[in-house]
Amino acid sequence: MKYRFSSFSELAELLASEKISAESYAVKREAFISDKSEAAIVEELDRRIAVTRAALDRGRTEPQRSPSGLTDGAAVKFASRGRSLVRDDLYSRAIGYALAVNEVNACGGKVVAFPTAGSSGIVPGAIWAWWDTRGPGTKEAPFDERMRGAFLIASLVGVLIAQGATLAGAEGGCQAECGAAGAMAAAALAYLEGLPLAEQFQAASLALKNSLGLACDPIAGLVEVPCVKRNAFLAAASLAAVELVLAGIGSAVPFDEVVSAMKSIGDSLPPSLKENAEGGLAATPTGLAVKSKMSH
């Protein structure tokens, strides 16, 4: 079996020829690359899924406060709010869960990079929100093959973005981190909704192309503002992408071409918008004031 592919079209052809599901292929590929058994890969996957849940639960129940003061328990505030504009539990949970995980990251807690620490709330936030509202969501069944499959599908989207563009904000701006995570989450949600692989990647295309050009401009160089709240917005955007696909509305531009455009845009972004805290929000009076305060 081949374990090299450079595009979604190539991956789809490979899966069709081998008559294997994408999630099963992802496990076999990882076993081959790491020289471990498939059972060991699944065991490690389960461990990492559990880490995302622990971060989520911690962020929702314990207000996360960072030394800078930029992170100040937003997830707990969101969970206990008295009013809500959109009364949909899945939507609200996706936002709150993404906040929770990324606040834990901002405060030095344990997370799993999806695909980076700065975007670590988006994929698990969206997947766990679906699980807690659409799946069993019980302590007796913390996750099953569907959950594993969702994370594996997300990983394949990430692999293709990494190969065709980048997952580093310092190289491609935040479109490479939160933008990529939004695409990964959209594909995972489409998978959980039972959509075929082509439509999973349609959802990923829609999410990613609407994050193109996103700057990486962390205030004072800290992965807090705008990163934490950006996780919430991109988790919500992943839901929108799947809603469009469920309505029969696809992306006019194929996934592989969206990734190519992402690379081109990332190459064109000025260095000041690539994680070095010299442009965008980091260069505002407020951003500079925080940076000055942190340096003293």
Query: What pLDDT, on a 0 to 100 scale, did the predictor assign at position 262?
Result: 98
- How far is the C-alpha of 3 from the C-alpha of 106, rounded, in Å? 35
Q: Please name which of 124, 54, 67 lies closest in space to residue 96, comparing C-alpha atoms.
A: 124
- How far is the C-alpha of 276 from the C-alpha of 170, rounded, in Å? 7
pLDDT along the chain (296 residues), means of 10: 95 97 98 97 96 97 96 97 90 98 98 97 97 76 84 98 98 98 98 98 98 98 98 98 98 98 98 97 97 89
Query: What pLDDT, on a 0 to 100 scale, did the predictor assign at position 292?
Result: 95
CA atoms within 13 A of residue 133's CA, in its CB half-sphere: 17
Query: What pLDDT, on a 0 to 100 scale, did the predictor assign at position 137?
Result: 63
Question: pTM for the whole thing?
Answer: 0.97
Query: What pLDDT, on a 0 to 100 scale, did the predictor assign at position 86?
Result: 82
CA atoms within 13 A of residue 124's CA, in its CB half-sphere: 32
Show Cβ contacts of residue 16 under 8 Å, excluding neighbours closer than 6 positions.
none
Query: What pLDDT, on a 0 to 100 scale, did the predictor assign at position 164?
Result: 98
* Strand partners of residue 65: 72
Query: What pLDDT, on a 0 to 100 scale, did the predictor assign at position 87?
Result: 83
Query: What pLDDT, on a 0 to 100 scale, did the predictor assign at position 148?
Result: 96
- How far is the C-alpha of 61 from the C-alpha of 230, rounded, in Å? 20
* 236 in Cβ contact with 94 (< 8 Å): yes
- How far is the C-alpha of 226 from the C-alpha of 219, rounded, in Å? 7
Give, as one character, the DSSP assignment of residue 221. Answer: G
Query: What pLDDT, on a 0 to 100 scale, did the predictor assign at position 282?
Result: 98
Query: What pLDDT, on a 0 to 100 scale, did the predictor assign at position 138?
Result: 60
* 291 in Cβ contact with 284 (< 8 Å): no
First to last CA, the chain: 57
- How far is the C-alpha of 103 from the C-alpha of 296, rounded, in Å? 24
Alpha helices in 193-226 (DSSP H): 197-209
